[in-house]
Amino acid sequence: MFNARFTTLTCVTPEMKKNAVCVCLLLLMTTALVAQLAGNYWNLNYGTKAQLLNGAVVGGVDDNSALFYNPAAIGTDTVGGFSLSLFSPNFSVINTNSSQLNNLEISDFDLLPNIAIIDFPFFQNSKIKSSLGLFSTRDFDIGFATQFDINYTPSQNFVGTTNYENSISEDYLGFGLSYKISDDFQIGLTQGVTFRSQNESFLINGRASNFTSNINDQLNFNSYNEFSASFPSLNSKFGLLWHRQKYSIGFTVTTPSYFHLFESGSYQIIEPQFLDGVLVDVVEETASGLGSNFNYPWSFGFGGVIKFDNGARLYGSTEFFTAIQPYAILDNPDSEILFRLIDGSEQVLNGSIGFESEISKSFTLLCGLRTDRHSARQFELSENGDQGQFRFSWDIYHVTAGGLFSVNSFRFSAGLGYAYARSSEDVFNPFDRVIRSFAIQDFELERSTSNYHSVTLFFNYSLLFKRMVEHR
């Protein structure tokens, strides 16, 4: 028995120990997510492989998406190439399950933004690889109109209609470089320009009724809030990559935005003012040409890839985003009501796992799981003129599956993605300020369980320069 046990132990090779350590690191990165709550920063993914691996590629990937995920991996497995996302239709449904919003259901069909990334040698140095890409990091557009009915007591209610629109777009132009320090170690930098714009409007037309003391009192409530802001800025991403034959490990740091190129913001407010339930004034104010500001967090990414003898690969990545203290997106010191639009976010830890298996020389199976936790921050509005954004926020969980098809120098990837979220919090609560304005201090808004579903069809195309040379 002693000899048998001794023989088993001596079969544990150093390579097996290294693989065991990598597996433990991937499991730790995944289980660490369970105790964390925070933000929707991982909205979209990019690349023929990285998109179906759900972004679990900070530790390296052999497609052009390295420009976005880890610039140190640029040119690791390809001399260069061109990637384009051609067709990604998306269908999403939001169920508010709120009687106050008449169980509003919002559905939307849209095409996810196209991306274009190109790798080629800008420099005549075999140790330096380069990449240039244009893609969208955020694309959010939602709107609805519905009736509402809020019953405070059998004798008091608030009925009316509400219209809401919110559109956010964020496009990113990045140029990346990687430098090969040794056969196993590379560093990289992506310098990016972000163009962000947002427009949000919210209209309420309502009537408050009070049938107490045999008196039928009715107060009309008409309010309108709208703001828009554009905010181009710079940011930088630094990356490290250590890769061996059986595994690789990557690390990234992304800076907040800096060097704001120009700022443009405006708002319009029509807000009735009540005192003890009596209308005393209507505030109307419009301003344009204001400075605007969108704060971004520091982020730190860590990931690894394990390469098995049968050609399969296991990917794992996690990324931590720092908290953003409350700040003013728009601030008008000349305002009669001292207007400020306030926002902020909690810290975020997200993670993803991907799996790749080569079925044949022309087909590779890809799948992935990813968290996308919300960053909504609860904070008090300290001044009378302070306003917060209305928003939907969920902890979203994504799953993707599909295939990579290779024909000579060409790559096509196609697959499906599904996202699901469920929240028992006040996901969208536009009536809180309305209720307070009527001096109803002890009113509790309904806390409804809302659901979010999304289905996406992915299609990407790549042309690899290296393979073109090899097949000539």
Average pLDDT, the chain: 77
Maximum mean pLDDT: which of 60-69, 399-408, 448-457: 399-408
Q: What is the mean pLDDT of residues 16-35?
A: 36
Give the model's pLDDT for residue 469.
Answer: 38
Rounded CA-CA distance 469/237 in Å is: 31
| Confidence band of 70 (pLDDT split at 50, 70, 90) | very high
Rounded CA-CA distance 472/468 in Å is: 6
Question: In the structure encoding, which two tokens stand for residue 108, read together?
Answer: 């939307």
Give the model's pLDDT for residue 270.
Answer: 84
Give the model's pLDDT for residue 317.
Answer: 96
Q: What is the mean pLDDT of residues 212-219?
A: 58
| Confidence band of 97 (pLDDT split at 50, 70, 90) | confident
**What single-letter amino acid sits at 260?**
H
Higher confidence at residue 84 or residue 416?
Answer: 416
Question: In the structure encoding, which two tokens stand for residue 183, read together?
Answer: 């056969």
Question: In the structure encoding, which two tokens stand for residue 421, read together?
Answer: 């979220």
Domains of the chain in start order, with CATH, are 19-470 (2.40.160.60)
Q: Is the pLDDT of residue 11 over 50?
A: no
Question: In the structure encoding, which two tokens stand for residue 432, read together?
Answer: 């809180």
49-53, 220-224, 234-238, 361-365: least confidently modelled range: 220-224
Higher confidence at residue 422 or residue 199?
Answer: 199
Give the model's pLDDT for residue 447.
Answer: 61
CA-closest candidate to residue 461, choices 53, 83, 65: 83
Q: What is the pairing mode between strands 386-388 and 340-345?
A: parallel
Higher confidence at residue 186 or residue 205?
Answer: 186
Give the model's pLDDT for residue 430.
Answer: 57
CB contact at 8 A, 100 and 147: no
Share of the chain above pLDDT 70, in %: 74
Higher confidence at residue 178 or residue 92?
Answer: 178
Q: Classify each residue of 194-229 as buried b or exposed e, where b means 16 or more C-beta atoms within 10 Å of its C-beta.
A: bebbbbbbbbbebebebeeeeeeeebebebebbbbb
**Which DSSP state fits 245?**
S
Give the model's pLDDT for residue 4.
Answer: 31
Rounded CA-CA distance 6/84 in Å is: 55
Look up tokens 């939907």; give the residue: 392
149-153, 236-240, 352-356, 459-463: least confidently modelled range: 149-153
Provide the phi-psi class of 127: left if phi over 0, else alpha when psi is between -120 and 50, else beta. Answer: alpha
Give the model's pLDDT for residue 3.
Answer: 32
Q: Classify each residue of 253-288 as buried b or exposed e, where b means 16 or more C-beta atoms within 10 Å of its C-beta.
A: ebeebeeeeebebbbebebbebeeeeeeeeeeeebe
Provide the phi-psi class of 9: left if phi over 0, else alpha when psi is between -120 and 50, else beta. Answer: alpha
pLDDT in tens, 257-301: 888 766 688 999 887 776 665 667 788 888 888 888 888 899 999
| Confidence band of 21 (pLDDT split at 50, 70, 90) | very low
Q: How many secondary structure helices (H) and strands (E) does the chain include?
A: 5, 21
| Confidence band of 20 (pLDDT split at 50, 70, 90) | very low
CB contact at 8 A, 165 and 145: no
Give the model's pLDDT for residue 8.
Answer: 31
Rounded CA-CA distance 364/356 in Å is: 7
Q: Is the pLDDT of residue 155 over 80?
A: no
Q: Is the pLDDT of residue 458 over 80?
A: yes
Question: In the structure encoding, which two tokens stand for residue 292, read together?
Answer: 């605007």
Maximum mean pLDDT: which of 60-64, 177-181, 260-264, 388-392: 177-181
Rounded CA-CA distance 297/345 in Å is: 9
**Which DSSP state fits 9?**
H
Q: Please name the helix (run of DSSP H) or strand (run of DSSP E) that holds residue 434, with its range, or none.
A: helix 432-437
Q: Is the pLDDT of residue 302 over 90?
A: yes
Q: Is the pLDDT of residue 121 over 90?
A: no
CB contact at 8 A, 83 and 65: yes
112-116, 241-245, 282-286: least confidently modelled range: 112-116
Q: What is the mean pLDDT of residues 73-94?
A: 77
Q: Which residues pair with 237 in a beta bridge?
A: 190, 254
Q: Max Cα separation, the chain? A: 96
Q: Please name the helix (run of DSSP H) or strand (run of DSSP E) that holds residue 198, with its range, or none.
A: strand 185-210
Look up tokens 């088993």; give the residue: 8
Q: How many C-alpha atoms does 74 have within 13 Å on its Cβ side?
A: 33
CB contact at 8 A, 427 and 450: yes
Question: In the structure encoding, which two tokens stand for residue 40, read together?
Answer: 């929707």
Q: What is the mean pLDDT of residues 202-221?
A: 68
Q: Is the pLDDT of residue 27 over 60?
A: no
Asked whether the CA dihedral 462, 464, 467, 472 is positive or negative, the reply is positive
CA-closest candidate to residue 149, choices 203, 116, 103: 103
CA-closest candidate to residue 73, choices 147, 2, 179, 173: 179
Higher confidence at residue 368 or residue 422?
Answer: 368
Q: What is the mean pLDDT of residues 62-70?
A: 88
| Confidence band of 123 (pLDDT split at 50, 70, 90) | confident
Question: 3-state DSSP call for residue 25?
Answer: helix
Q: What is the mean pLDDT of residues 69-81?
A: 78
